[in-house]
Every structure is written in structure tokens, then in C-alpha cells.
Amino acid sequence: MAADHDKFQRIAILDYGSQYTQLIARRIREQQVFSEIIRFDTPASKLRENLPAGIILSGGPNSVFEEGAPGIDPGIFSLGVPILGICYGMQLMSRELGGKVEPGKEREYGKTEMSTEPENVLFAGLPRDFTVWMSHGDRVAAIPSGFKVSATSANCPYAAIRDEQRRFYAIQFHPEVVHTQFGSQIIGNFLFKICGCKADWKLSTWIDDTVARLRGQIGDGEVVLGLSGGVDSSVVAVLLHKAIGRRLHCIFVDNGLLRAGEDVQVETMFKSKLGLDLTVARAAQRFYGALKGVAEPEMKRKIIGREFINVFAEEARKFSHCRFLGQGTIYPDVIESSHALKGPSQTIKSHHNVGGLPPDLKFELVEPLRDLFKDEVRAVGRVLGMDPELLDRQPFPGPGLGVRILGEVTEDKVKLLQEADRRVQEEVRKLPDYKSIWQTFAVLLPVKTVGVMGDQRTYEYTCAIRSVNSIDAMTADWTRLPYDTLATISSRIINEVRGINRVVYDISSKPPATIEWE
């Protein structure tokens, strides 16, 4: 469902493949201006149809000298709107407008001291010298006609340039990352002082508009929604319920691979407290049977995904009068997975939502969150009055505990891991900075070790604890949990969970490791 953003000013971000492109969009929205990531090869004619208040050319991994390097429609420079080029975007802008770009004598990567020139609106209100984050090999050797130098660094005589008459600005560093001092102010200066934006992107207004659009799209029809109990599908459920009430039919597939007590929690929350029409498909034994004897991680994922679709489809057919399928698609899903947005960026992960449904189920998709980032989804939930306990839940993989039990998945192993993980969650939630931790969980290893409990020898499983800090799960660092917390977790699991006699802590970051073990 295309959102109607005509009433909001927007900034269009041309995506050249930077790992930070989504971060640019988020930094803009944090200042209550709507931002949209679009393909780098979007023609000027398309942008002219709904002219943005400004355009940003993102960074990217390519060199402008490479054959097939992503370019730009030259007509974009004639649209009459402000343009900010970042890193690769600066080099591309400079080359297209008649400047010269050359390989740098040495790659500039990391924190760099930069000095700004006076009378520069992009750096208005900032100190003359501050630290920025550089990440480039090529550099601008000669600036285009009409441009002035805005800032320099030791290795970069053109760290920032500007053409005030055409309102073209370019910077070699990344203002969107936290390592750049005053990055938010720099972005704010571009938004408000150069583009003339208003801070009118408010989620309360978005909710009212979205509810109206949902009612317009659905009419007197009905919607079926796969409810996982996660943040995204939960917010979609409440939003759709606000729009169409009992004409929303939620299906919760209990695959037996959930966290301890999660099935009861979801049913109580949505059926009893929120009054949603909820069908619970209890299919644990079906999943256990399909997974019997299977140890290969990718095969397990495929089996779990296949069975989920089959169970969901069987339940959805009972609502034969429903024409619409609700999904918790969010903006990162769209950017990473949608064919419409595939540019130079690599696809990092596949789409999580209900896909591959049998051909007899011909639904029209309803995706009200497809323009929002995860933090915005949580903010919408708060405005809707949803339980903070639900909104602040840590991410949970689609295959559930199936990818946290290494080797064959059995019902006994699931129960063992659920009990271990429950104790992990109880102890970590006591930490004052719990909400800042991206994810903490237990993993059951296919390794048994010798131990001693009392005067008896034991030979039981090993449990690993994984805790990471991350912004978007693309990269992650292991959490420095307090030793006392780790000691308590270990003691509780070993003493209270029969079947585990050893606990280890995973201190690997992503990359090279992944967050999940499988």
C-alpha cells in the first residue's frame, strides 16, 4: 500500500550502497522530517512528479572509476532543489559537474580532525575544528566551477565544498554516524537552513492518516493477519484493529519453538486484554515431526518456514471471505528485499513475513508499517497505548528456538532450552541498562561434558549465553554483561535446569560471527 506523503515535505536519498544509507534516513526522521530511500538510477522526471525539498546522494563502496559504477541522471542537478553529496555522493557530484576525482595517496578511514571555513551555512553554529568519520579511497582533486572550499583535513584538501547559488553541498565524511561530532546539527542545517524544511513528520499525525488510508483500502472487507507476538506484527494488529475492529482476524501459529510461556502471553494479551479476534493454531507436534533427524541449519530453517506457511494457509482458508492479508513489513525489509529498490547494495537478509502462500490464497497485501523503521514502529505502539513490556521485547528469529538448538531439534531439547533461556531473561531484565541491549539469549549446544554435582558424576549438555549490542543487526558487538550477572545466570541454569551442567559465554562480534548461532 503506497503511503500518501504529499502533506509532508520529504528528503529523497539516492542509495549508492553505503552501509550507512538507512542511518541517514533515520537521522533525518529523528528531526521530524520525512525521508525516503530510492534507487540511485531514479530519473529526474520521476523525482519531478513529487518534487522533494532536498536530495541526498549517499556514500557507497564503489569507486567512480570502476566500470559499471553507479551514476546519476544529470537532469537531477537541474531540478532546482538543494543537493547534499556524502562521500561517494560527493565524488560523483564533483565529477558530473566538471571537477576532478582521483585515487587518494592513502585511504582515509576512521576519525579525522577537520577544519571548517567561515561563513558556511552547512556548518553554522559549529566550532571551526571538530572530529569527523572518514571512509574513502578516492578524493576530489579539483572542484567544479562555482564551488568553494568549506572544510579541509590533513589528507583531504576538499573535505567539504559548496555552491551556494545552486544550493549544492558535498562532504567527504559521514555526518550520520555517531563518530562524527555535531553530525545531527550538520544534517539539521541542511534540512532547515538550506532546504527550508518544517519539522512536520509526527507519528501521531501519521497514525491518523494511516488509519484513514486503511479504511479507504479495505472498505467493508476483512483482513487476515499472521500474528507472531513480535513488535512489528503486534503493532500492525493494533493499528488494523483501530481501523476496522473485529473485521481483523489474527492467526497465531504455535510451532512449539517459542520462548517459555510465550503462547499463553500472546493469547492473553491479544485475545483477553485487547479483544482481538485471535485463532491459535497449536502445531508443535507437527513441527517436531517434520524436524526429526534433521541437523543441517539451512534445512531446519526451510522446514520450519514451509510448515509455518502450510499451517497458516490451512487456518487462513477458514476465512474464505477475507480478501486482504496484513503483514508486518517495515522499511528495512523493503529496502533489503524489494526488487523495486535493489541498487548497488547487497541483499543482507531475506524477507521475514508470510510469503510463498499457495496460489488459491489470493490476498491483497496490507502493509501499514512499510515506511517505518523499527524505532518508529515502537514509537507508534506507544502512541497507540500498547504495553511497554511487549514493545520493548528483544528481537526473536522467525525459526525460533529451532536455530538456537544446534543439531537435531526435539521436544525435550526445546523444553530444556526454554527453561535455561527463561532464567537468562529473568536475570538480564534486572540490569538498569537492559533496554539498551539488542538481544540476550541461551543456545543449547550438541556437546555433553563431564561434571560433578554433590558426589555424583554428571554427563550433560552445555549451554552458551549470547548477548549483543547493535543498532540494526547488520553489525553487532558482544555485550559486556557484569560478572555478577553472568555468575548468577550460570549458577541458576546449572542448579535449576536438570540436563545442563556447563555454561559458556560467547564473546564474538558480528562480523565475523553472526548474532544467531545458526
Catalytic residues: 87, 174, 176
Closest CA to 85 of 6, 10, 24, 8: 24
Burial class (CB in 10 A: 0-12, 13-18, 19+), 482: exposed
Quote the cell numbers at residue 87: 562521500
Residue 277 corresponds to which amino acid? D
β-bridge partners, 223: 248, 324
Phi, psi of 319 (to 5 degrees): -110, 60
If DSSP codes are grouped into helix, strand and coil, which group holds residue 515?
coil
What is the β-pairing status of strands 54-57 and 100-116? unpaired
Query: Which cell is 450 given?
Result: 563431564
Provide the residue type at 327 as one letter: Q
> Cα–Cα distance between 477 and 479 in angstroms, integer?
6
* DSSP designation for 347: P
HEC per residue, 56-78: EECCCCCCCCCCCCCCCCHHHHH
Say which amino acid occupies 511.
P
In angstroms, rounded to a whole number, what is the distance separating the alpha carbons of residues 448 and 470?
31
Exposure string of 140-150, with b = 16+ CB inside 10 Å and e = fewer, is beebbeebeeb
